[in-house]
Structure 1
Amino acid sequence: MMSPSFTVASFNVNGIRAARRRGFDAWLADRSPDVVGLQELRCPVSEVGEFPGYTASIDVGSIPGRNGVGLLTRSEPAAVRSWALTPPKARGLGAYASHGRYIEVDLADRRMTVACLYLPKGGLPARLQRPGGMREEMDGGAKYDRKMRFLAGFARELDRNRLAAARAGREFLLIGDLNVAHTPYDVTNWRPARKMEGFLPEERDWFSSLLSPRRLIDVVRMLRGDEPGPLTWWSWAGQSFAKDVGWRVDHQLASPGLARRAEEVWVDKESSAEARLSDHAPLIVRYRE
């Protein structure tokens, strides 16, 4: 007999309205995770819709068609905190308070705080920008600089929130699209990726700084060890999805006590490119009760 367990899914839906047209509601009803973190809702709150069987805690932000995060829980949370309601205290994050990038809930049925983050994608530093060699216009490193300020501020804010959960006797779990792949096992073609946003050495160093046996643990890497994947994002273009050439930028970082209860991780990758709900696939972890 299997021990009681609960599942947590993190899913960048790349627009909840588009994902629903592609079959998100059928996926949710079929997989039925206990907690679901959503990123890039990308619509007004009036158009997010209902999620039968779940209570939805949502922060869509103030930028039309951009960002937006949510947490779906089986029971109404004991508490909900978003940057729209309680602006972040760490320096460098104030400008993002209304952008719909962070929300956390205290679960009512478990001693646990779950946070959902959609981290800015960023860009390349000025030293790596070359005319004609970029997918986006050269900006002198402005997007890169903004992301690095966000990373520095968020590390402080994350520590504050993690410790607050610990003081309340709660485990802590950060899930979401962090727009950073941490190790070479998280990127198919990792060598050229070292000069791409999302896998720059300084971004990976920042990610490493979040992790330690006493603070937060990358549950995926803990369970999978030093082996390639699982990947969670593939470009819409070309044969990236069919050939499984992609990145893992979606993560679950758990406090040590919760990490020890992690039993299994998988990515719910669709069977074909035509069946995709998003350019991301859900990252799901099963934890023992």
Structure 2
Amino acid sequence: MAAARTREDLLFTVASFNVNGIRAARRRGFDAWLSSGAPDVVGLQELRCPATEVGEFPGYVTSADVGSIPGRNGVALLTRAAPAAVRSWATHPPRARSLREFATHGRYLEVDLADRPVTIACLYLPKGGLPAALQRPGSMREEPDGGAKHARKIRFFTGFAHELNRNRLSALRSGREFILLGDLNVAHTHHDVTNWRAARKMDGFLPEDREWFGSLLGTRRLVDVVRHVHGDRPGPLTWWSWAGQSFVNDVGWRVDHQLATPGLAARATQTWVDKAASPEGRLSDHAPLMVGYGDV
């Protein structure tokens, strides 16, 4: 992994990491990465294990919702101190009707930090699929489904946009900044995909995916912190296929994000992807997305 950054001006570091199975990631060296980088908050997606097998992480308090589907989904937030409050959809069902089918799937977790006036939410957004009009038998990894997975993702989009807005406003009313982090399974701009022209007909970069992502952003809503700091230029990428030379050639996507309220986003000083030095050092098909914020 990349060398740990100095912490002089990174007083509050937040990581988002789709581990693609926490047990496998720990076998590959996740604990060493965590100890070396020592972020203040870590959001994990795709735990893919029972609650009894999430384990403990020295120096952190773990809040998790593993969901009800064996071997699938699961989110967690690792914090330095026990949170002032923890909310998952299992304990605090979403108000949006279109999210009810996802409520027990282990996709959303939210904590109020006890040591800073910040609420942090961790999301693993469902992968979709292509709409029926773009499905071509024989050219897809999966059998055509008539657009069922795509429709499911659109239902999630609709409900989550409302739910996110309510949660963001609730945090602000209580005097807290808000961060949404996680694997959103959407790349927003052409800077977030290496081969963006070909990706325009792929799940995660369809016009409706990008339009929805853009609807979450605004000067009075949320800011894409990585794009704000990194600028309007290619990268950084956070996901590469296990197959071929995608990782070595840096051909991938940025589907992992941190969206923050404008006041907090303005304090972001650095952002980086903690990409392994070689394919053999990978912990997951994703790499941790890191943001360093000024004092909060």
Q: Give TM-score, length-normalised by structure 2.
A: 0.97
Cα-Cα RMSD: 0.9
Asked whether the equivalents of residues 240 and 253 of structure 2 are also in contact (C-alpha less than 8 Å), the reply is yes
What residue identity is the alignment partner of 1:68? G
Name 2:176's counterpart in structure 1: 170
Name 1:5's counterpart in structure 2: 11
> Which of 258, 283, 290 is matched with 1:284 structurally?
290
Name 1:251's counterpart in structure 2: 257
Name 2:119's counterpart in structure 1: 113
Counterpart-to-counterpart distance in 1, 2:275 and 2:8: 25
* Cα deviations by residue, 1:222-252 (Å, 9 ceiling, x for unpaired): 0111110000000000000000000000000
Asked whether the equivalents of residues 20 and 46 of structure 2 are also in contact (C-alpha less than 8 Å), the reply is yes
Deviation at 1:131, TM superposition (A): 1.1
Answer yes or no: is 1:74 the counterpart of 2:80: yes
Counterpart-to-counterpart distance in 1, 2:9 and 2:74: 35
Name 1:145's counterpart in structure 2: 151
Name 1:126's counterpart in structure 2: 132
Counterpart-to-counterpart distance in 2, 1:91 and 1:206: 18
- Structure 2: give runs of 5+ residues left out of the alignment: 1-6
Name 1:272's counterpart in structure 2: 278
What residue identity is the alignment partner of 2:27? R
| Matching of residues 90-109 of structure 1 within 5 Å | 90-109=96-115
Name 1:49's counterpart in structure 2: 55
Asked whether the equivalents of residues 10 and 269 of structure 2 are also in contact (C-alpha less than 8 Å), the reply is no
Deviation at 1:5, TM superposition (A): 1.2
> Which of 68, 72, 85 is matched with 1:62 structurally?
68
Q: Secondary structure, in 3 states, of the residue corresponding to 2:119? A: strand
The alignment-based identity, stated in percent, is: 75
Answer yes or no: is 1:207 the counterpart of 2:207: no
Counterpart-to-counterpart distance in 1, 2:62 and 2:19: 15
Q: Give TM-score, length-normalised by structure 1.
A: 0.99
Counterpart-to-counterpart distance in 2, 1:242 and 1:184: 20
Q: Secondary structure, in 3 states, of the residue corresponding to 2:227? A: helix
Q: Secondary structure, in 3 states, of the residue corresponding to 1:70? A: strand
Deviation at 1:133, TM superposition (A): 1.1
Name 1:39's counterpart in structure 2: 45
Name 1:156's counterpart in structure 2: 162
Q: Secondary structure, in 3 states, of the residue corresponding to 2:243? A: coil
- Structure 1: give runs of 5+ residues left out of the alignment: none
Counterpart-to-counterpart distance in 2, 1:107 and 1:267: 24
Counterpart-to-counterpart distance in 1, 2:272 and 2:278: 17
Deviation at 1:126, TM superposition (A): 0.2
Deviation at 1:4, TM superposition (A): 6.0
Counterpart-to-counterpart distance in 1, 2:137 and 2:258: 37
Answer yes or no: is 1:239 the counterpart of 2:283: no
What is the number of residues matched between the two proteins? 289
Name 2:196's counterpart in structure 1: 190
Asked whether the equivalents of residues 10 and 292 of structure 2 are also in contact (C-alpha less than 8 Å), the reply is no
Q: Secondary structure, in 3 states, of the residue corresponding to 1:258? A: helix
Pair 4,232 (structure 1): closer, same or farther in 2 beyond 3 Å: closer
Name 1:219's counterpart in structure 2: 225
Counterpart-to-counterpart distance in 2, 1:60 and 1:3: 34
Name 2:142's counterpart in structure 1: 136
What residue identity is the alignment partner of 1:204? R
What residue identity is the alignment partner of 2:21? G
Counterpart-to-counterpart distance in 1, 2:10 and 2:224: 22
Counterpart-to-counterpart distance in 2, 1:243 and 1:104: 35
Deviation at 1:3, TM superposition (A): 4.2
Counterpart-to-counterpart distance in 2, 1:97 and 1:51: 26
Counterpart-to-counterpart distance in 2, 1:262 and 1:4: 9
Q: Secondary structure, in 3 states, of the residue corresponding to 1:182? A: coil
Q: Secondary structure, in 3 states, of the residue corresponding to 1:93? A: helix
What residue identity is the alignment partner of 1:241? F
